[in-house]
Amino acid sequence: MEYKGYVSGPIDFDPEDGTFSGTVAGLADVIHFEGSNSEELVQSFRGSIDDYLAYCEEVGKTPDKPFSGKMLIRATPEIHRKAAMRAQAEGKSLSAWVADTIKAA
């Protein structure tokens, strides 16, 4: 799910309670939402984001988790080679090619 530029993490199901639950990815804090059906889940997801953004505005806090822009990616030598060759063929550095590929995804 996506709302206001935020996405849900994995959705879990608890068969004992009959509820679906998840967390919102990319926030500075862990925000949890749940519902017993898809409509409740979406409503809870959006409400959790709205409530968190309102809280952050009220206290003057930045809601987004900070990211440095640096990533360590582990791959097999074969995948590394293929990516480097593809980047070179497109006239890009490997980092730029990986960033563009992720952006396109």
For the packed helices 94-104 and 77-89, what is the interaxial angle rounded to 10 degrees?
90
Residues 52 and 85 in one domain: no
Q: Give me the pLDDT at residue 1, please.
A: 93
pLDDT (tens digit per residue) in 51-102:
999 999 999 999 999 989 999 999 999 999 999 999 999 999 999 999 999 9
Residues 6 and 54 in one domain: yes
Indicate the DSSP class of residue 36. Answer: S
Query: Can you give the pTM of this predicted structure?
Result: 0.73
Residues 47 and 86 in one domain: no
Residues 72 and 32 in one domain: no
pLDDT (tens digit per residue) in 5-40:
999 989 999 999 999 999 999 899 999 999 999 999
Q: How many domains does the chain have?
A: 2
Q: Give me the pLDDT at residue 105, please.
A: 87
